[in-house]
Structure 1
């Protein structure tokens, strides 16, 4: 069993096509198909069901795929560790991010990192805070930036607090509250809300604040991005609560201070056990703009 054969299997599984997998792996299709067939013969089981219209994993293929990915990740990590031992940073850097993080200019940090370590392959995924914690703990993300209610902390990962801040009310320019200097949760509870999906960390901070005040509210619109929150608020479909530090990024809406506002904490997180050389280099780079992070890195 060879690593290249595993790469081919993963490519076929991800593209659902031998042709597209061969294009991704920069080989002719016949060579890729031959290597997959050799591997299937060695394993004594077919990994793919092939028809004229589609390719899909068999139960054996479903069982093989996670282990194959782990082997490829381990091989990549081994090469990166050897490079680090001789003073080079290589491999991959998978970054996770929620869009409302403002304590770190992530695009600028990635630009600086790429200029300093051009041999590292950088990837970025946008997701919910809870998902990013799970991905970082599992090793599919190396470093993530997220926000949580003050009642919750990241578990299973190393974490450093970047900033704290309150939420602001966000309303349409024509809304009756738009000219007010401040508003209470009780007054807001009479409004229709736009918010993140129930159960997410971004939603929890608002839900907890209303519950603690003995209030209920009507969340009629659930969206997955802060950008779409404002697209629904601007025409007057509802109101929202968003982090105060994110306010400069908003347009077409008005923001109002909330007298009993819920708060959230922004974190950077990484592997609690063995961050990759690329992750360590990236976190070290962040210490130039976040000096307190140096102590957390030890």
Structure 2
């Protein structure tokens, strides 16, 4: 007894016609008829009454039909289970991260995942947040660590890992240094060094400037936070970064920027119901970052 024989028998039973059944399973009518006849021979009973224009179930056919359905459903479940295992054994997982990423919990999550599934290929891609989000939506990336302004994109699963204000980062002798924060209206009078457009930090800053009707003087743009800070340390301008980015540069002074109502978020984003490999990686991410998941 073969699964295809059960499939063809089920098709004829549900279509009540050999021609329509053949069209459904994409083989010739004679092929369907031959396979159903072989099944009847093996079972020792006619399953279909072929005497009229409509193929009707015999008593034996009616008794066999539910078992045929169960067998085919079980075969489909088996195939799905094996496909899921193969997805974790031979699959590929593409993870995007913002250029110059220094977020160690992401690396810890990837390392733990790799230890559990060493045969699965991991691919890391860097880019700005807008491009990475587009890659996740398009399905060319499974997961991405991105910066966004104010809120994570709708219709994506998300784990917000940081919700921060913006910081002006300057050398200790800079005139920007003072006991209070630096208002956005004053900040824009200085030459600025920022991350590129399309990053979460830059988007928060740009949105705040647009809302306030301000035009910032951005003199230099660097893709990595460390490069932005290094340029500021050499007097090239005031760096605009997030609190966590600024904290790793103790040689510079961090001055909170006031008047920015749009927070800069750092988040992992993914398409729901993406892949078995992603399902296996996400628990590691939640454990390393802490779980504040958006469904």
TM-score range, shorter chain: 0.5 to 0.7
Residue 162 (structure 1) shift: 2.9
Query: Equivalents in 1 of 2:293, 2:183: separation in Å?
Result: 39
| Mapping for residues 1-80 of structure 1, pairs under 5 Å | none
User: Which residue does the alignment assign to 1:264?
Assistant: 264
Query: Equivalents in 1 of 2:141, 2:120: separation in Å?
Result: 14
Query: Alignment RMSD, CA only?
Result: 2.8
User: Which residue does the alignment assign to 2:223?
Assistant: 224
User: Which residue does the alignment assign to 1:163?
Assistant: 162
Contact 2:200 2:265 in 1 (8 A): no
Residue 236 (structure 1) shift: 0.6
Query: Equivalents in 2 of 1:199, 1:141: separation in Å?
Result: 17
Change over 3 Å in CA distance of 1:282–1:219 after alignment to 2: same
Higher Cα Rg: structure 1 or 2?
Answer: 2
User: Which residue does the alignment assign to 1:281?
Assistant: 280
Contact 1:100 1:243 in 2 (8 A): no
Contact 2:105 2:285 in 1 (8 A): no
Contact 2:157 2:294 in 1 (8 A): no
Query: Equivalents in 1 of 2:195, 2:240: separation in Å?
Result: 10
User: Which residue does the alignment assign to 1:82?
Assistant: 82
Contact 1:185 1:258 in 2 (8 A): yes
Change over 3 Å in CA distance of 1:148–1:210 after alignment to 2: same
Query: Equivalents in 1 of 2:228, 2:277: separation in Å?
Result: 34
Contact 1:80 1:277 in 2 (8 A): no
Contact 2:87 2:277 in 1 (8 A): no
User: Which residue does the alignment assign to 1:34?
Assistant: none
User: Which residue does the alignment assign to 2:93?
Assistant: 93
Residue 224 (structure 1) shift: 1.9
CA distances 1:82-101 after superposition (whole Å, capped 9, x unpaired): 35347954411211112577
1:132 aligned onto 2:151: no
Residue 193 (structure 1) shift: 0.6
Residue 293 (structure 1) shift: 5.1
User: Which residue does the alignment assign to 1:105?
Assistant: 105
Residue 202 (structure 1) shift: 3.5
Change over 3 Å in CA distance of 1:248–1:80 after alignment to 2: farther
The secondary structure found in structure 2 opposite 1:93 is: strand
Change over 3 Å in CA distance of 1:121–1:88 after alignment to 2: closer
Aligned residues: 216
- Uncovered stretches (5+) of structure 2, i.e. residues with no partner: 1-78
TM-score by length of 1: 0.64
Query: Equivalents in 1 of 2:172, 2:190: separation in Å?
Result: 15
1:144 aligned onto 2:160: no
Residue 242 (structure 1) shift: 0.7
Residue 235 (structure 1) shift: 0.5
